[in-house]
Each structure stands twice: as structure tokens, then as C-alpha cells.
Amino acid sequence: AKDSGEHDEL
């Protein structure tokens, strides 16, 4: 489910 940006948010 994390195709887009794996944990790229703070």
C-alpha cells in the first residue's frame, strides 16, 4: 500500500 513515498512524511 506504500507505493508512493514510503514514510516520507514527518
Partner 1 sequence: MNIFRLAGDMTHLMSVLVLLLKIHTIKSCAGKSYPCSLCFILLESSSGISLKTQELYALVFATRYLDIFTDFISVYNTIMKLIFLGSSFSIVWYIRRHKIVRRSYDKDQDTFRHFFLVLPCLLLALIINEKFTFKEVLWTFSLYLEAVAILPQLILLQRTRNIDNLTGQYVFLLGAYRALYILNWIYRYFTEPHYVHWITWISGLVQTLLYADFFYYYFSSLKNNVKLKLPA
Which chain residues interact with partner 1 by CB under 8 A? 1-10
Tallying the residues shown for the chain, one arrives at 10
State in angstroms the smallest separation of the CB of 3 from partner 1: 4
Q: Determine the 3-state secondary structure of 9 from DSSP.
A: coil
State in angstroms the smallest separation of the CB of 9 from partner 1: 7
Q: Quickly tell me which residue has 516520507 as its cell.
A: 8
State in angstroms the smallest separation of the CB of 6 from partner 1: 8
> C-alpha grid cell for residue 3?
507505493
